[in-house]
Structure 1
Amino acid sequence: MKKLKKLTSALVVATALGVCAAPVLAAVQPNMAKVEERKARKTQIVGERVGKVLVKAFELYNQDLVDEAIAELLEVKSNNEFDTATLNRFLGNLYATKDEKQSIKYLTLAVAPDLLSFGDQSTSMKLLADMLLQDKQYQKAVKAYEDWIRFTGEQNADAYMRIANAYYLMEQHAKVIAPADDAIRFSPKPIEGPYQLKMAAYYDLKQYKELVAVVETMVQLFPENKQFWVYLGNFYTLTEEYGKALSTLQLAYSQGYLEKDSEVRMLAQMYANNNIPYKAAVTMEKHVKSGLVKRDKTNLTFIASNYQAAREFAKAADYYGELAKLTNDADAYRRQGSAYSAVQKYNEAIAAYDKSLSLNVDKPSGVYMSLVDAYFYQKKYKEAFAALMNAKKDPSMARQVRSWESYIRDKAKQKGISL
């Protein structure tokens, strides 16, 4: 955990704690004098006939008889605007459980005259906004949430979060940021949602520096969320900060946060990108053996090539051999031969080269030249010369062949070997 605290401390971003150089106004500015006037407004009471119907409908609702409650309310009509608004409010509430469009219809009628009590008007406006969002009427939902904020004077984190979400769903990504920031500012404690929306918006806008700053904050505030560490490691690559990408993923790995095949492969690839091939190979090898990462052509090639880059030629040869058996690939046998040659296991190298040639490797002349090396260092000059003659069939190898041909002839002559 010391490492975790050290990194998260290094990732502090002032906005994560709501600290700003100067006060920032929220997106919606209510007129608080009018809010107080509304709160002080005298509360009206429904007429006796409507009151009885409302009591009956409420009893039916409590018995889970929603359709019957709705039917009861639809039966009554009133010339009193307040009574009608109240009936529409109840209908809007009941329809919210089963029919979004009908709920929107009646809630719109309920709030339009602004005759309900402050509390009832407020909750009805909020429910209307929620129904519009649920019904995918995103632009109307944004306006409804803003109207609710102006009416109540309440700078509400959830409302701003929903506004930001509506803009994101409309793919108006640039408009997501301000309400998401307001959701962060007015939340009593840090919540993940608005940060995730900002992350998604900046990613879609291809504003990668801003994206990284947001995810750094997310890691700082929510270090237990494993996925945020993976995001941060990945997004550092978008700003070409490969060292930071690696250190982030290393720390996540040490905390046990990298649990998926793709995440482990990302860490291994990051080691390779940072010129640490041994760690790249070891990391991938460990998880291939555990079964988390597939033992397939791509991953075996990765292990083998990184062991070779790390000059762990014997291990590279083993994995090229495994790859060759899996794929029956001529080039895998050629690479295995090259790795064996590097550790002077010439017999094994020759066997691998011969297998590569038998599988019709691309550019066989190159493999024949590798055989020349392997045979020559075993002092098998006759076999080396035969391999050289095969390489000579490729005109592009003429220069290399000439430099070897006289040298091999001289060595064979010294040893009394007839070529």
Structure 2
Amino acid sequence: MIKRCALIVVCLISSLSASAELSRYTAGRLQQANQLAQDEKFKQAITVLRETNTSFDYDKAFVARVMAVFYWQDGQTKHAIEQMEYAVTSGLLKDEQAWVSERMLADLYLTERQFKQALKHYYQLVEMVPKDHQKNDIWLRIAQSHYQLEQWHDVVESAKRYLNEDVQDRLQPLSLMLGAQLALKLPHDAIITLGQLIEIEPKKLQWWRQLSTLQVQVGKEKQALGTLSLAKLNGLALSQNDRRILAQLYAKQGIPERAAIEISQLKDAQADIQLLVEQATYWQLAKQWDTAISIWKKAVQTAPKYNWNLAQLLIQQGYYKESVSVLDKVEGRQVAVALAKTRVFYKLKQLDKALSQAKRAEQLEPSSQAKSWIKFLSQQGAASNLPQTEA
């Protein structure tokens, strides 16, 4: 906006000589004020114009117009608005003079966060644009104003009007549009916008992260996996949380080994209990049983409650002797532990211990499973005591 207002100053002052409607007296006062302003003596320049006495309405409007610029350059935006409002509403400024003045007034309102007033003038400006002036950036200002007012539908429409033209700056309007689409809960539209933003700023992780989140939200988890994977491949520094989400997406797509590897590469992956549990779980899903066992062993050193997970996997893989000592460390789960030991001791051909554990399970909580074990083991024990006949 600073560059634009500086350009307006030039336009205003250069038009002094071209304006045949200005009285000689007023033109002289304006030239005097302009000379002071060029030396950055804005307060003196304003005083000269404020003390200019003229009975001509056009002179008053033109003086107000120039004074508004000087007020703005002096940092007195509210006074600048008052003077430019007077100049514009007078209706005496014509053609390009009127358009440029109203443009500055709209920009001043925007600077002062008076968005409704700014919009009133911006919408008037786009109706008639003088030659050699563009209305593209006006639509951008309109989008910005609607955004501040949280008028999301209007943000989208005005941003589209801006983007429909051949413009260089696409980042800002697309960012405004994205914010509006998210507020309106339009995830499919936001996904398209994020794709355009990534083309412009491929190194901005925020866009990739938001895109993957929305893809998950609309049920496109495979695309979300591709998004985060590509972000990582492009060298973006994914956060710990990003990597965990990436691992979850790998697992959901049936690639648990990649999920486990992703978690194993995180900071404190070999010490943080939650990360250890995630790794062990993913290795199990990948049927990498021994690797999962090794990770569960690390986990139980910090959190003994995971001894049950370790014991179950040891039993599954036939490490029966090792599983006994682990089962002894399991807290709670008395019935489940007794039944697990029943199975383990049976596999180790220690039938008396197996039967003892089955009876313990039945005593703690009667169940058909415990009864079945007791019956089966009792029969096995009886059979083993039968006298052997000679062949």
- State whether TM-score is above 0.5: yes
Higher mean alpha-carbon deviation, 347-356 vs 190-199, is at 347-356
1:180 and 2:180 are equivalent in the alignment: no
1:379 and 2:349 are equivalent in the alignment: yes
Query: 1:78-120 CA deviation, whole Å, 9 max, x = no partner?
Result: 3333332233223322343534433322221122224346554
Assess if the C-alpha contact under 8 Å between 2:205 and 2:238 holds in 1. Answer: no
How far did residue 61 of structure 1 move? Answer: 4.0
Between the aligned partners of 1:391 and 1:142, the Cα distance in structure 2 is: 78
Between the aligned partners of 1:301 and 1:269, the Cα distance in structure 2 is: 13
Q: Which residue does the alignment assign to 1:128?
A: 105
Between the aligned partners of 2:202 and 2:52, the Cα distance in structure 1 is: 57
Q: Which residue does the alignment assign to 2:7?
A: none
How far did residue 127 of structure 1 move? Answer: 2.4
Higher mean alpha-carbon deviation, 190-199 vs 42-51, is at 42-51
Relative to 1, partners in 2 of residues 1:80 and 1:205: Cα closer, same or farther, differing over 3 Å? same
Between the aligned partners of 1:321 and 1:81, the Cα distance in structure 2 is: 91
How far did residue 318 of structure 1 move? Answer: 3.4
Q: Which residue does the alignment assign to 2:92?
A: 115
Q: Which residue does the alignment assign to 2:12?
A: none
Relative to 1, partners in 2 of residues 1:168 and 1:388: Cα closer, same or farther, differing over 3 Å? farther
Tell me which of 368, 374, 383 is aligned to 1:405. 374
Relative to 1, partners in 2 of residues 1:62 and 1:324: Cα closer, same or farther, differing over 3 Å? farther
Q: Which residue does the alignment assign to 2:256?
A: 277
1:203 and 2:182 are equivalent in the alignment: yes
SS at match of 1:253: helix
SS at match of 1:233: helix
Query: 1:386-413 CA deviation, whole Å, 9 max, x = no partner?
Result: 4434432443x61111122233344455
Relative to 1, partners in 2 of residues 1:398 and 1:74: Cα closer, same or farther, differing over 3 Å? same
1:312 and 2:312 are equivalent in the alignment: no
Counterpart code for 2:193: V
1:139 and 2:116 are equivalent in the alignment: yes
Assess if the C-alpha contact under 8 Å between 1:317 and 1:337 holds in 2. Answer: no
Relative to 1, partners in 2 of residues 1:59 and 1:43: Cα closer, same or farther, differing over 3 Å? closer
Relative to 1, partners in 2 of residues 1:345 and 1:222: Cα closer, same or farther, differing over 3 Å? same
Tell me which of 62, 67, 70 is aligned to 1:91. 67
Unpaired runs of at least 5, structure 2: 1-14, 386-391
Between the aligned partners of 2:322 and 2:101, the Cα distance in structure 1 is: 81
Q: Which residue does the alignment assign to 1:355?
A: 329
- 5 Å-filtered alignment, 1:221-370, equals 222-288=201-267, 296-326=272-302, 328=303, 330=305, 332-357=306-331, 361=332, 363-370=333-340
SS at match of 1:288: coil
Between the aligned partners of 2:114 and 2:60, the Cα distance in structure 1 is: 25
Counterpart code for 1:271: Y
Between the aligned partners of 1:367 and 1:313, the Cα distance in structure 2 is: 21
Between the aligned partners of 1:113 and 1:186, the Cα distance in structure 2 is: 33
Counterpart code for 2:290: A
Assess if the C-alpha contact under 8 Å between 2:129 and 2:135 holds in 1. Answer: no
After TM superposition, the score normalised by the length of structure 1 is: 0.75
How far did residue 283 of structure 1 move? Answer: 0.9
Between the aligned partners of 1:48 and 1:295, the Cα distance in structure 2 is: 86
How far did residue 348 of structure 1 move? Answer: 4.1
- 5 Å-filtered alignment, 1:23-62, equals 43-44=19-20, 46-62=22-38
Between the aligned partners of 1:262 and 1:325, the Cα distance in structure 2 is: 25
Assess if the C-alpha contact under 8 Å between 1:156 and 1:186 holds in 2. Answer: no
SS at match of 1:123: helix
The alignment's C-alpha RMSD in Å is: 3.1
**Highest CA radius of gyration, 1 or 2?**
2
Unpaired runs of at least 5, structure 1: 1-38
Relative to 1, partners in 2 of residues 1:80 and 1:252: Cα closer, same or farther, differing over 3 Å? same
Counterpart code for 2:78: K
Query: 1:168-213 CA deviation, whole Å, 9 max, x = no partner?
Result: 2222212222111111112433612222222222222222222223
Whose relative contact order is higher, 1 or 2, with alpha carbons under 8 Å and at least 6 apart? 1
Between the aligned partners of 1:129 and 1:295, the Cα distance in structure 2 is: 59
Between the aligned partners of 2:85 and 2:263, the Cα distance in structure 1 is: 59
Higher mean alpha-carbon deviation, 339-348 vs 46-55, is at 46-55
Q: Which residue does the alignment assign to 1:23?
A: none
Query: 1:211-270 CA deviation, whole Å, 9 max, x = no partner?
Result: 223333434455454433332222112221122222222222211235222322221121
Between the aligned partners of 1:303 and 1:273, the Cα distance in structure 2 is: 15
Q: How many residues were matched structurally?
A: 366
How far did residue 53 of structure 1 move? Answer: 4.4
